[in-house]
């Protein structure tokens, strides 16, 4: 009985393929291996808590879904935000329209109006975003963007404190 099983297994292993079928199988195998490598390199699965940190940047998403980091660019031109820093102080900041590569801003903090220019017109993850008094200001306060949403931005300032901009 064991001899019959061995003979049948051997005869199943000796299947003959035409040249065309061999090329098709090799091509299919290459596609499957390539897809596997792609998933290993780029296809991440969002963990059960819905947050993932990559290179110090926190991403939020639906748990269990394939996830690819998205570096969206958000324009700050002609928009108003509320700024909350790590001490809890709240201020209102309005960004104007770009003027020679910089965006003017006005910030209302504790009844005082502060004016200045930003270092960029758009915000994206890992970008260093600066607020300065004027074009010649060398004491510009740079903050690193660590979280980006359409209505909420989170920055780390030079002292590693968090600053939130909320629409």
Cα–Cα distances in angstroms (integers) from residue 44 to residues 41, 52, 55, 64, 153, in the given order: 8, 10, 14, 9, 23
- Note the pLDDT of residue 37: 62
Could you report the per-residue pLDDT of 52-79, keeping only the tens digit for each? 776 556 666 677 766 666 556 777 888 9
Cα 137 to its chain centre, rounded Å, is: 30
- Note the pLDDT of residue 14: 65
List the domain range (segments joined by +) for residue 160. 74-166
In a domain, 60, yes or no: no
**Model confidence at 91, in pLDDT bands (50, 70, 90)?**
very high
- Note the pLDDT of residue 140: 63
Question: Are 82 and 161 contained in the same domain?
Answer: yes
For the cut 60, the answer to whether the pLDDT of residue 9 exceeds it is no
Question: Are 87 and 136 contained in the same domain?
Answer: yes
- Is pLDDT larger for residue 79 or for residue 2? 79
In a domain, 57, yes or no: no
- Note the pLDDT of residue 66: 66
CB 131 within 8 A of CB 114: no
In a domain, 97, yes or no: yes
Q: How many domains does the chain have?
A: 2
* Range ranked top by mean pLDDT from 46-55, 90-99, 112-121, 157-166: 90-99
Question: Are 15 and 84 contained in the same domain?
Answer: no
Could you report the per-residue pLDDT of 101-149, keeping only the tens digit for each? 788 999 999 999 989 888 777 787 777 878 887 766 656 678 888 887 7
In a domain, 55, yes or no: no
In a domain, 154, yes or no: yes
Question: Are 158 and 110 contained in the same domain?
Answer: yes
In a domain, 84, yes or no: yes
- Note the pLDDT of residue 82: 93
Could you report the per-residue pLDDT of 18-31, keeping only the tens digit for each? 888 888 888 888 87
Question: Are 103 and 147 contained in the same domain?
Answer: yes
- Is pLDDT larger for residue 87 or for residue 45? 87
In a domain, 66, yes or no: no
> What number of other Cβ atoms are within 10 A of residue 113's Cβ?
8
Question: Are 98 and 145 contained in the same domain?
Answer: yes
Upper half-sphere CA count for residue 6 (Cβ side, 13 Å)? 3
Question: Are 93 and 16 contained in the same domain?
Answer: no
Question: Are 90 and 25 contained in the same domain?
Answer: no
For the cut 80, the answer to whether the pLDDT of residue 81 exceeds it is yes
- Is pLDDT larger for residue 73 or for residue 16? 16
In a domain, 38, yes or no: yes
- Note the pLDDT of residue 23: 82
């Amino acid at each position: 009985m064991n001899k019959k099983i061995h003979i049948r297994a051997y005869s199943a292993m000796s299947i003959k393929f035409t040249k065309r079928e061999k090329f098709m199988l090799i091509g299919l195998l290459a596609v499957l291996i390539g897809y596997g490598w792609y998933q290993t390199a780029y296809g991440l699965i969002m963990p059960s808590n819905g947050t993932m940190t990559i290179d110090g940047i926190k991403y939020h998403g639906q748990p269990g879904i394939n996830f690819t980091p998205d570096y969206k660019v958000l324009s700050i031109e002609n928009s108003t935000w509320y700024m909350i820093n790590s001490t809890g102080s709240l201020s209102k900041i309005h960004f104007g329209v770009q003027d020679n590569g910089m965006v003017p801003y006005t910030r209302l903090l504790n009844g005082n109006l502060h004016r200045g220019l930003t270092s960029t017109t758009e915000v994206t993850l890992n970008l260093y975003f600066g607020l300065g008094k004027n074009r010649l200001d060398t004491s510009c306060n740079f903050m690193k963007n660590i979280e980006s949403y359409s209505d909420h931005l989170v920055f780390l300032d030079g002292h590693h404190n968090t600053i939130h901009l909320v629409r």
